[in-house]
């Protein structure tokens, strides 16, 4: 059974997934009214699925009027941002702000320098194209670094990170942001909207993957840790140790100069006068 849909809310969350598990509790505690959608209408949400090929406004009539509309799912290529904003505004009027969650993956991966909010990015990336379209409509984009918290546990990602020692050798800098701080960033942007602005959202740290791998190898999950998992972590730590000798790295973390592209995320936090609560990956 759906909860009663309000006719007007402060924030409308299009796509209530992982981010909403951190955002909704903060909205409630801040007394910010909200509504949320999922494709199935699960967990008392509004059933809604955006079809970028359709000009039918009917699905949008089920949505409430909102001051800020948050898009948590990726829009890609030309036309999708214009379509979703146009259909909603044709139904509910033009007085609303649009906030898209994006990825820092669009920023120059080949650079060995720093990338800030105004840095070069891949303008041909499908997500960047959609973001630029939304920015042209006065929207705002929060490009998120590595998401963690709740069900997202970085130390379990090693098998996806690399399959061999040569894979580990290629790993340099990595950046993270906790789900609670993503939620705080969304609320800060809702309260003081940055029209036509793209922000980098990270915890103001640069992590060295080699250093993290070594740290993960010493962590245990008590009785829940399997022998296979422990052996896998030790294998990765051994690879890092061997690479340190081979590459002449005396201690971890490595020098910033050898880590490749690094993200400067100070801009957003300084602009809004808030700073990450989770300032270091646990």
CATH at 79 = 3.40.50.720
**Is residue 139 assigned to a domain?**
yes
- Residue 141 domain boundaries: 8-153+175-206+263-272
The answer to whether position 228 is within a domain reads: no
| Residue 233: strand, helix, or coil | helix
Q: Mean pLDDT across the stretch 222-245?
A: 84
Residue 223: count of CB within 10 angstroms of its CB: 6
pLDDT over 60 at 262, yes or no: yes
The H or E element that residue 38 is part of is strand 34-38
pTM tops 0.85: yes
Amino acid 249: pLDDT = 98
pLDDT of residue 221: 52
Overall number of domains in the chain: 1
The DSSP H or E segment spanning 92 is helix 80-92
Integer Cα distance of 156 and 213 in angstroms? 11
Question: What is the phi/psi pair of residue 136, to 5°?
Answer: -65, -25
Residue range 56-82: mean pLDDT, rounded: 97
């Amino acid at each position: 059974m759906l909860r009663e849909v309000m006719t007007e809310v402060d924030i409308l969350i299009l796509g209530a997934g992982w981010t909403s598990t951190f955002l909704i509790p903060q909205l409630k505690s801040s007394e910010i009214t909200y509504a949320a959608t999922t494709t199935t209408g699960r967990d008392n949400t509004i059933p809604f699925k955006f079809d970028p090929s359709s000009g039918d406004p009917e699905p949008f009539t089920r949505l409430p009027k909102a001051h800020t509309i948050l898009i948590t799912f990726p829009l890609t290529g030309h036309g999708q941002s214009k379509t979703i904003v146009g259909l909603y505004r044709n139904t509910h009027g033009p007085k609303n702000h649009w906030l898209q969650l994006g990825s820092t993956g669009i920023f120059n991966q080949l650079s060995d320098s720093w990338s800030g909010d105004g840095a070069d990015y891949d303008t041909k990336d499908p997500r960047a194209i959609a973001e630029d379209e939304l920015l042209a409509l006065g929207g705002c984009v929060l490009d998120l670094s590595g998401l963690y918290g709740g069900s997202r546990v970085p130390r379990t990602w090693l098998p996806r990170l690399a399959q061999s020692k040569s894979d580990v050798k290629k790993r340099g800098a990595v950046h993270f942001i906790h789900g609670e701080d993503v939620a705080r960033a969304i609320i800060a942007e809702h309260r003081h909207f940055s029209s036509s602005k793209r922000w980098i959202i990270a915890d103001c740290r640069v992590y060295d993957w080699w250093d993290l791998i070594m740290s993960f190898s010493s962590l245990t999950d008590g009785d829940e840790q399997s022998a296979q998992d422990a052996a896998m972590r030790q294998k990765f730590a051994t690879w890092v140790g061997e690479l340190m000798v081979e590459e002449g790295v005396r201690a971890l973390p490595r020098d910033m100069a050898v880590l490749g592209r690094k993200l400067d995320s100070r801009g957003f936090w300084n602009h809004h006068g808030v700073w990450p609560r989770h300032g270091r990956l646990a």
